[in-house]
Chains A and B, each alone.
Chain A
């Protein structure tokens, strides 16, 4: 973490995103702060409703408004403030400098246009290519994401492709303008395990080739461990831990991270009588406890946790951050190298 450049590619500070609902205002992201450096992959991890997807959407100015709005904070991308940009200005950045791929490629692609049409659209708009140039460039991109016979596939419609293939088309489209930052929201969740592996490998290969940064949003900690350096764990709209990946897995400091790691179903040599669990359930965003939001499910919680929300503070020796009054004691980390 010491050879990082001075200014990060993206700096999110105290970001607050709110949604107006029939029953009141829900704060989906509450004072989220993090950095994404150049050529770096970070993961936003958490369960449904933790705010990871809205955080990702907000980077591209895609929060549906109304009912949603950015209620505070700042997002600086290459020194430029994104919060408060006009739609027109945001459209210039979106697709060219910052791209996104979505969980469900079938709904993200337009069913009535061919793959080629949709890809050419982006290329003509942002790179000013002619129709013919755009077609050639699109075929090249499809080949880069390992789509067999791209010259033929380009004239097909989304429904003619398999799930894994569609997701690769999405990736090709997202990368066609050589973006500096890619936001990938659960890109492998809708896929089968064997295709999941293909797509993950594709993303990390392209990340190196295009020298871009990736914000990968996922609920699957297994996916997290595979390629990234740093992971941010969210719970109920807040960041609970932000740590280097080795530290996060060997010595999680926040009890929620630890519980999440323990409860992942994994293949074991000997079956356990009972799987470890986190008791209870995620609190309703409309009725959040005033203290630590994890307190009522936490075995380490006491009176302080119920009253006062812990701040995100650095750990003693590392640059990792966690938000907990009673963190899990640090485990001596045996580095392999």
Chain B
């Protein structure tokens, strides 16, 4: 977890993103939505951190804050040990080149008026990379990388299915040869039979090009396949973080356990007792005091209502396993 470590690509420390809520006739700030609240993690080169949580837990905001698409309101983001939190727009460009994003909805993230070639070439144009001829060649290579032929280059997004559009979005993200990509629910809008195709593609790119990913998903099964490490988010905080192996064999936080048990299993014989959580996720505008999960936690005790638990490492130094829960304090 230190920036001196050569392998560390991204180091996020105590990141916060609060959104002001305005109200009244003077539109004064009357409250803060704590979308991301004191989150720290690091990602090594070529590794993938999976971020899992329910809608509204702040996982997408976190993904965007890391790229400074949302301006963080607190904390620091270090890339290769350099603090990029305070960089100005023109200084940031160099980092933007190395950091890309794949969006959830392939129907909204591609301009309907541009051809595939124009979409994939745009990052090259913006960053003035290569001659026009080189750019053209690069487009064909990129399309091949995502399993598409050169014949699609002059077609428009509406001519493609969801899975193919997502491939175009991935080709665009790869155009600048990034070493870090935020993938924000890249397969959740796709059909099951296509989902696995795209997941295999992402896993292959990661291996072949050594790209590090922050992979955001609400689906624990999807995230298991692509991640090396997993962080579980609840109400703007990471409540548990561990290696894939440890998290799935020994989930410690009651929320992680509930998430695991809530997944419908595609096997009628495999029905098991399920931890059904009561109620809904509380509003991040008015999070409960104490442990943010105590209102829905089946194991909550008196202390959980009073004080927020701190994250502790219950694993080893080489293989850390962080949990923020009084049961494991």
Contacts and interface: CB of A to CB of B under 8 A. Distances in A.
Interface of A: 47-48, 148, 162-165, 192-198, 200-201, 219-226, 245-246, 249-250, 259-261, 263-268, 271-272, 274-279, 281-282, 336
B224 A271 contact: yes
Interface stretch (B124-132, B193-201, B307-315): B193-201
Nearest to A276: B196
Nearest to A45: B192
Contacts, number: 124
Given A249-B266, A265-B219, A274-B200, 9 more contacts: A193-B259, A194-B276, A220-B192, A220-B264, A259-B193, A267-B263, A268-B224, A275-B200, A275-B225
A192 B266 CA distance: 17
Contact of B194 (A266, A271, A281): A281
A278 B225 CA distance: 17
A281 B267 CA distance: 25
15 contacts: A192-B281, A193-B218, A193-B219, A193-B220, A194-B54, A194-B276, A224-B266, A225-B266, A225-B271, A266-B221, A267-B221, A271-B224, A271-B225, A271-B244, A277-B196
A264 B244 contact: no
Nearest to A275: B196
Contact of A225 (B262, B268, B280): B268
Nearest to B255: A194
B274 interface: yes
A298 B199 CA distance: 21
A264 B271 CA distance: 16
B58 to A, nearest CB: 14
Contact of B193 (A165, A195, A277): A277
A292 to B, nearest CB: 16
B55 interface: yes
A267 B248 contact: yes
Given A265-B225, A275-B225, A276-B196, A196 B276 contact: no
B207 to A, nearest CB: 10
Interface residues of B, number: 44
Given A165-B280, A281-B164, A260 B264 contact: no
A223 B54 CA distance: 18
A2 to B, nearest CB: 20
Given A260-B193, A267-B224, A274-B200, A222 B280 contact: no
B263 A195 contact: no
A6 to B, nearest CB: 28
B101 interface: no
Contact of B268 (A164, A245, A281): A245
Contact of A264 (B164, B248, B266, B268): B266
* Listed residue (B194, B248, B268, B269) with the most chain A CB atoms within 10 angstroms of its CB: B268
A192 B264 contact: no
A265 B54 contact: no
A194 B53 CA distance: 10
Contact of B280 (A48, A164, A196): A164
A162 B268 contact: no
Interface of B: 54-55, 161-164, 191-197, 199-200, 203, 218-222, 224-225, 244, 248, 258-260, 262-271, 274, 276-277, 279-281
Contact of A222 (B199, B260, B266, B281): B266
Contact of A278 (B193, B218, B264): B193
A143 to B, nearest CB: 15
Given A225-B266, A268-B224, A192 B54 contact: yes
A225 B265 contact: yes
Nearest to A336: B269
Given A47-B192, A263-B195, A281 B224 contact: no
B54 A193 contact: yes
Contacts of A148: 279
Question: Which are the 10 A-B pairs with shortest beta-carbon distances?
Answer: A222-B264, A192-B54, A47-B191, A265-B221, A275-B196, A278-B193, A193-B262, A162-B280, A197-B262, A263-B196
A163 B222 CA distance: 23
Contacts of B268: 225, 245-246, 249
Contacts of A246: 268-269
Contacts of B267: 225, 249
Contact of A194 (B194, B200, B262, B271): B262
B260 A267 contact: yes
Nearest to B189: A48
A34 B202 CA distance: 40
B218 A192 contact: yes
A48 B191 CA distance: 7
B206 to A, nearest CB: 13
Nearest to A335: B269
A221 B271 CA distance: 13
A222 B261 CA distance: 13
* Listed residue (A193, A198, A220) with the most chain B CB atoms within 10 angstroms of its CB: A193
* Listed residue (A245, A260, A271) with the most chain B CB atoms within 10 angstroms of its CB: A271
Contacts of B54: 192-195
Contacts of A162: 280-281
Contact of B225 (A48, A222, A272, A336): A272
A222 B263 contact: yes
Contacts of B220: 193, 267
A45 B86 CA distance: 51
Contacts of B191: 47-48, 219, 282
Contacts of B193: 47, 259-260, 263, 277-278
